[in-house]
Amino acid sequence: MRQKGSQSLKALRRGNKEAVLALFMGGERLSRVKIAAATGLTTASVTQLVRELIDEGLLVESGEIASGAAGRRETLLRFAGENVAAVGVNIESDRTHISLCSWDEVLNEEIYPTDELFADGTDALSERITAVAAGRGDRRFLGAGLAVAGFVDEEKGVTVGGYGLFPDGFPLAAKVAESTGAETLLVNNVRAQARALMTGADDSFMLVKHGPGVGCAVISDGAVVSGADGKAGELGHTVAEEGGFPCRCGKRGCLETCVSEARITELYAIKTGDKVPVREIYGRFGKDDAATEIIGNCLNRLAVAIGNAAALLNPRKVLVTGGIFAGEDTFDAFRAAVEKAGFGGAFPLARIGDERKVKAFSGARHIMLARLLGI
């Protein structure tokens, strides 16, 4: 009984420490008094927990502030995100980003064609993770976060479904952990990117990512909306065209089959006989009739799909990134399509300009939050 009580006390203490640390994740500077008020812990408990977090290099003192009528000074604290590091791996069908990150800074980034990196299994990935992690210096290393396009079982660390980048049930996290010796977690890439974009514990928004496919993640009051079996947010696999083209998910006419970058290049080749990279087609928008028509139709479909999803989910804002949204001209056209579809003013709409930075942080922030806060 004594051992069980000791374990319960240890779990409670860990939970309290995580609750204290969580208050700082949005960049806030807080005094011990403010921490006690926010958590409901006694000042004595807060003092002890703060001392432990300072000793671990996770909190540092950061100036003072006057408090109360007597002008008493309170010492402010901040999260020392510069003292921790993690490797983030963002795996998509075309490219894989491998990044070493502190909490707020991308320290190093490497980008590889995905098919080349995984040509001989996961060995090359593990080698690059080990090499990149070596650049962390004396920072506390928290592990590697693998953010992968497609369905994943985060708890088991395996991919789900046979139409993604890896076979159904592929133990990607375990294979990398075994080769690198680093704690490794697996997560869907768009969900990880959404968590990396969070600005506070009560943030609520919908993130839509365009590229080889259409990804979506929903954050509600600071938490990822997962759904009954972890598949919430699959906007790309909602049906946009009855009886349309077959989708890799098994259905027909999914939004992804209508607006993906592969479909855009295919339609342009059919219409013009010119096989060019999709980036070049984006560059011809507004200058070339075929490019303008094809991209315009895709933007109209996306406007309706995103507008309907936002009407159901009621996010505080909608963020879009990647692919067709990357250019200012195509984003402006998308905004106009949202207005035309009748959703103008229903939700604030913004474009994430620095997609590379979001990809770099995605897996890294995921494992940082898991290791530091247990989420």
Residue 239 backbone phi and psi in degrees, to 5: -80, 125
Q: What percent of the chain has pLDDT over 90?
A: 70
200-354 and 2-79 share a CATH fold: no
Directed axis angle between helix 355-373 and helix 189-197, to 10°? 80
- Alpha carbon 369 to its chain's center: 12
pTM of the model as a whole? 0.85
Percent helix / strand / coil, the chain, rounded to 5 = 45, 25, 35
Confidence of residue 339 (pLDDT cuts 50, 70, 90): very high
Task: Give how far Cα 263 sits from Cα of 260, 270, 299, 345, Å.
Answer: 5, 10, 13, 30
**Domain 200-354 is of which CATH architecture?**
2-Layer Sandwich (3.30)
Do 78 and 60 touch, CB atoms closer than 8 A? Answer: yes
Q: Where are the domains of the chain?
A: 2-79, 82-195+357-373, 200-354
Contact 228, 182 (CB under 8 A): no
Confidence of residue 1 (pLDDT cuts 50, 70, 90): very low
Cα–chain center distance at 332: 24
The pLDDT, as a whole number, for residue 342 is 94
CB neighbours of residue 243 within 10 Å: 7
The arithmetic mean of pLDDT across residues 111-136, rounded, is 95
What number is the average pLDDT over the span 50-63? 92
Structure token pair of residue 124: 């090359």
Q: Classify strands 349-351 and 318-321 as parallel, antiparallel or unpaired.
A: parallel
What are the Cα distances from residue 325, in Å, to 177, 189, 209, 260, 310? 35, 18, 8, 12, 17
Domain 2-79, CATH class in plain words: mainly alpha
pLDDT in tens, 33-49: 999 999 999 999 999 99
Of the candidates 58, 150, 149, 52, the residue with the CA atom closest to the CA atom of residue 371: 58
Assigned token pair, 281: 């087609």
Of 233, 231, 251, 229, give the one whose Cα is nearest residue 242: 251
Find the DSSP H helices in 198-343: 255-259, 261-272, 278-283, 289-313, 328-340
Whether 321 and 291 have beta carbons less than 8 Å apart is answered as no
Strand order in the sheet with 205-210: 223-224, 214-220, 205-210, 318-321, 349-351
State whether residue 14 is helix, strand or coil: helix
For 346, the token pair is 């229903």
Please say if the pLDDT value at position 374 is more than 80. Answer: no
pLDDT digits (tens, 9 = 90+) for 288-333: 999 999 999 999 999 999 999 999 999 999 999 999 999 999 999 9
Residue 5 has which token pair? 């009580």
- 3.40.50.2020, 3.40.50.970, 3.30.420.40, 1.20.1250.20: which CATH number matches 82-195+357-373? 3.30.420.40
For residue 215, the model assigns a pLDDT of 92
pLDDT at position 45: 92
Identify the residue with better confidence: 26 or 246.
Answer: 246
pLDDT digits (tens, 9 = 90+) for 129-149: 999 999 999 999 999 999 998
